Amino acid sequence: GLLTVTLFANGLGGVQNMTWIDPSVFAALIAASAALGAAVFAFAAAVINARVARKNSVLQALIAQRTKRAEFRQSWINQLRDCFSEIQGGLIVSEDVEMLRQITRNSHKILLLMNRDDPDYERMRHALSGILEYRNQVEDVAATAARLEMVEVCQDILKREWEVTKNEIRLLEKDAQDI
């Protein structure tokens, strides 16, 4: 049979019955509407999932980049620290030619590892020059000043670069919140 709908005529004072649609067609329309609603919901969920996945992939790439940069910086800091300590350790009064070669090699390596635009580059160059000039003079005031200058410059560089490394890591947390 057909679906009968009872309409209340507004203002006409009566009730009117109206035959409208076959129930099987009505059921098919409801099923189609439900399927359409499910498809719209599925599409919306796919769009949201795609956005979340994109944000996650951007964040993962950023984390990988910053982590790798921090690893490189830490390796660079370690190389500098090793050169600094080898130079300081080799400053024993000695006529050992091999030790002099090692001090000279490490001095050049430090300068090569540093950027010439680094604010401490000239200080480091001056300190290394003093170290090489006064390497065998333990009691000399100038030699002592050169060694102290070397230690101070080394500490300043290592401290500053460690702070840069820590800031890179802190930025990861901020970037995660921003994405």
For each successive 10 residues of the chain (179 residues), what is the average pLDDT?
Answer: 51 53 78 92 94 89 85 89 84 72 89 92 91 74 84 92 85 73
Q: How far apart are CA 66 and CA 62, in angstroms?
A: 6
Q: Tell me, what's the pLDDT at 19? A: 55
Q: How many CA atoms lie within 13 A of 19 on its CB side?
A: 3
- First vs last Cα of the chain: how many Å apart? 58
Token representation of residue 111: 């300068």
Phi, psi for residue 148 in degrees, rounded to 5: -65, -40
**C-alpha triplet 130, 136, 139: angle, nearest 5°:** 90
